Amino acid sequence: MIKQIKISLVVILLFTILTGVCYPLAVTGIAQLLFPRQANGSMLHSRGVLVGSALIGQQFTSPKYFWSRISATVPYAYNAGASGGSNFGPLNPALMDEAGKRIHDLRQADSGNGARVPADLATSSASGLDPHISIASALFQVRRVARARGISEDSLRQIVALFTEGRQFGILGEPTVNVLKLNLSLDRVFIDEEGR
């Protein structure tokens, strides 16, 4: 029996070193070597200042910026330490209230826009951190952003097209627009003296 306990302890120690030290170091090393930007969080900078990650959504409320999806994280929006959706079912009154408030806010910000509000602009994503919106959501906001920045809608549509990301591997999902990348581009192209 002592022999079996010794063998068990040696196996536990061996696999602890193998899976707890060697494997993580190897994976980290390979990631840093082959994909350094992604391995370090896909961080984005503006004028030398870190402004966020391309993987985590941010809240924009100024009419000069494209708005992200609603975040359901707590205790504050886009809390990367508390990823998770609201888990409200489609008939839940709280979901309807949240979507109604967002639609109201979008209509208030662009009162002349009679287009239908895309679903992803009125609801949160499963993670509550989604940095992307659909092309329809970006195009819905073009009129407001163009007016707030004093630029043509056609110019803004071209910028949206430049920042449209295709399907993953060419087949998965739908084309999307990364809101933070798009907004940073607007600040670079059209100098904005006001902050977010």
SS3 25: helix
164 within 8 A of 174, measured Cβ to Cβ: no
DSSP letter assigned to residue 172 = B
Greater confidence (73 vs 143) lies with 143
70 vs 68: CA distance, rounded Å: 6
What is the per-residue pLDDT across 30-62, written as a single tens digit (0 to 9) for each?
Answer: 999 999 988 888 888 888 888 888 888 899 999
182 within 8 A of 134, measured Cβ to Cβ: no
Q: Which band of pLDDT confidence, cut at 50, 70 and 90, is reported for residue 194? A: very low
Tokens encoding 192: 């904005």
- Residue 128: per-residue pLDDT: 81
- Residue 191: per-residue pLDDT: 61
104 vs 171: CA distance, rounded Å: 35
99 vs 82: CA distance, rounded Å: 21
Average pLDDT estimate for 25-30: 94
User: Which segment of 7-11, 123-127, 142-146, 157-161 scores lowest on mean pLDDT?
Assistant: 123-127
What is the per-residue pLDDT across 134-177, written as a single tens digit (0 to 9) for each?
Answer: 999 999 999 999 999 999 999 999 999 999 999 988 889 899 99
How many other CB atoms are found less than 10 A from the CB of residue 101? 12
